[in-house]
Structure 1
Amino acid sequence: MKTYIFHALIVLAITLLHHQIGASAQNFDIGLNYGMLGDNLPKPTEVVKLYQKYGIGKMRIFAPDPATLEALRNSNIELSMGIANELLPTLAASEANAERWYNGFMAPYINDVIFSYITVGNEIVPGEFAQYIVPVMRNLQTILDENNLAGIRVSTVVATSVLGTSYPPSQGNFTTDARATMIDILKFLNDTSSPLLINVYPYFAVAADPINVRLDYALFTATDVVVQDGNLNYNNMFDAIVDSFFWAMEKENFSDVQLVVSESGWPSYGNGNLTTKPLAYTYNYNFVRRVQKFGTPKRPNAYVEGFIFALFLEDLKPAGVERNFGLVDPITMEGLYPL
């Protein structure tokens, strides 16, 4: 295999961990989203070798991909695997349908691939597919239990749009349209000791209101208290968003459900001076540092796992910021950020 100059991950993983945290690569508790909407991506076997080379121990994919699952065999990489939104009505219709999905995409790999999460749909609350989330989760949980696979967590991924209010964090609550579905989801998660996966993007808050939303607050670089919420102080938007979810869940009596940040990142191109490589590097670098620490102002002892979005630039996504969240150019296999 060609030796790649993988600058982004060298900086984010090796430099950060060994020089600032002092942890080994095996303790690098950060994941990378591996999106596949590109026509110039390397083979999954090469991608898995890159994860291994740079100590990236967690991968998230959005739907089962047999080539990737084969490449992950005996890799020791933990996998979060999604189920495409359009499949949910079929998998909700019967346990037999869900079992066929399990037999096709999990059973052949169950002894060689470390499945950490199975995520039922991506950002579909509220929406036409939201009604199917809990039935699918129940069907899959039954199948996992029958196969003595209780360590694999079944969940779903939601966007911050499920929050009706998020400022200040203590006012966090679910929108009227999302609330009933979120309560059903949280009941399932509470009963199964599974976390809720959330996508957190301070970039979009700045992009929507660059005059009133401080850039340093979004980039983790503010040195002062930007938001004071009662006795809680916030100097970064990431913590504020996560705590808004904790508050919203607590108001529905689900204070024991934990959170996993399934996506967070910053685009390096597509929206003028707000999407430069130095800004993207700054956000992702500080996000990695943040995820290595426990707690938020509201939950000082909470463990919040995190995944960077995303590994590659994906040229089949819409032009603009959507295709420019990647750490790595898939053609040159070089990192995009300055050293």
Structure 2
Amino acid sequence: MFLVITLLFLSTRSTGVVGDTLFAGVCDGRNGDNLPSPTQTISLYQKINIGWIRLYEPFPDLLNSLQGTGLLVAVGPKNEEIKTLADQYEYAVNWVKTFIAPYNVSFNWITVGNEVIQSEIGRYVPQAMRHIKAALTQTGISRTIHVTTVLSTAALANSYPPSAGVFKPQITEVLTEIASVLSSTDSPLMVNIYPYFAYASDPSHVSLAYATFGSDKPVVIDGNYQYTNIFDAAVDSFNAALEKLGHGGVKVYVAETGWPTRGNPPYTSVENARAYNQGLLKKLTTGARATPRRPQVPVVTFFFEMFNEDLKQGEVEQSFGFFTPNMVPVYDMWNVKCL
């Protein structure tokens, strides 16, 4: 009964929609042995009016359940496929023909690599992106699909203040190439941002209010830009880093962000997770969708994540979900009044 009441409340009050435009999605991780079926999963997304879903690989059963739903989908190949995608164009064509073309699914983003830029695989990402984009063109479906990659904040050599954002020297060359690809295709760079880790690792210098959208006054003043929360500051650090590569026109979208409820008290808690995620949802569904450095660019964002995943390593990593695997809310995440 609690779940039914919650879902009814969500569907009527907090759709994450302004007009006809949704500026928030939710990631769906599959590292669990007790997760709902694909049909149940997609049904839950629809019931709570989530319009975007991020998949970490193209699971056929999930893609089948997504057909005809209209949900916008972000999906990518496995990291271990990237080198082959870069080396063999026909492999990219077959990947598109196998996982994209056959499905009546609203694919909007293909993420070539999740946090791989600093690894040996990273140097293959730009060519793999080109091959996927060319394969989409060959199959006649490229105009609505953006091909990108996903970085972690570890890609930055400096992020404070945000205007000093710069990529690490050892990956600058490959990121310049990636930014050039993104610029030429009008595609965003995607990043994973977790203020929880900044707060939990240095609570004496990072306040909980700054980490969880609890401050109504600037905490960081960076020239003409003022920041009341870490999320905006982190996004703008990437914006500044892209400017230093000569590609300031590339948009920065957030592929993952969230806050765990367990595993590292007092930093992990239902209260902190609710404050962060509800604060971010409110930002994304009101007039504050952008950042100080890019006030005209709404930050497309995926929350992490729909369900707790019991096969991930450590209690913190297992505890980012909005729902337990039996689809009971962990907390009233979506109980926010949107303007």
Band of TM-score, shorter chain: over 0.9
Aligned pair partner of 1:315 in 306, 310, 315: 310
Three-state SS of the structure 1 residue aligned to 2:102 is helix
Q: Distance in 1 between matches of 2:254 and 2:279?
A: 14
Partner of 1:69: 63
Partner of 1:170: 163
Partner of 1:98: 92
Q: Say what the alpha-carbon RMSD is for the aligned residues.
A: 1.9
Q: What is the 5 A alignment of 1:89-238?
A: 89-109=83-103, 112-149=104-141, 150-238=143-231
User: What is the deviation of 1:281?
Assistant: 0.9
User: What is the deviation of 1:288?
Assistant: 0.9
Q: Distance in 2 between matches of 1:136 and 1:72?
A: 25
Partner of 2:324: 329
The structure 1 segments of at least 4 consecutive aligned residues displaced by more than 3 Å after TM superposition are 6-17, 21-24
> Identity over the aligned pairs, expressed in percent?
39
Q: Distance in 1 between matches of 2:290 and 2:75?
A: 26
Q: Deviations over 1:242-278 (max 9, x none)?
A: 1111111011110110111110000000101111111
Q: Is the 8 A contact 1:8 1:336 kept in 2?
A: no
Q: Distance in 1 between matches of 2:330 and 2:225?
A: 36
> Given residue 251 of structure 2, which amino acid in structure 1 is its aligned partner?
Q
Three-state SS of the structure 2 residue aligned to 1:92 is helix
User: What is the deviation of 1:97?
Assistant: 1.0
Q: Distance in 1 between matches of 2:5 and 2:317?
A: 22
Q: How many pairs are equivalent?
A: 330
List alignment gaps of at least 5 residues for structure 1. none
Q: Distance in 1 between matches of 2:98 and 2:268?
A: 40
Judged with a 3 Å threshold, the aligned counterparts in structure 2 of structure 1 residues 220 and 300 are, in CA distance, closer, same or farther, namely same
Three-state SS of the structure 2 residue aligned to 1:274 is coil
User: What is the deviation of 1:28?
Assistant: 3.9
Q: Deviations over 1:186-214 (max 9, x none)?
A: 00000110000011111110111111111
TM-score computed with the length of structure 2 as normaliser = 0.93
Q: Distance in 2 between matches of 1:234 and 1:282?
A: 17
Judged with a 3 Å threshold, the aligned counterparts in structure 2 of structure 1 residues 52 and 22 are, in CA distance, closer, same or farther, namely closer
TM-score computed with the length of structure 1 as normaliser = 0.93
User: What is the deviation of 1:9?
Assistant: 6.6
The reply to whether residue 33 of structure 1 matches residue 23 of structure 2 is no
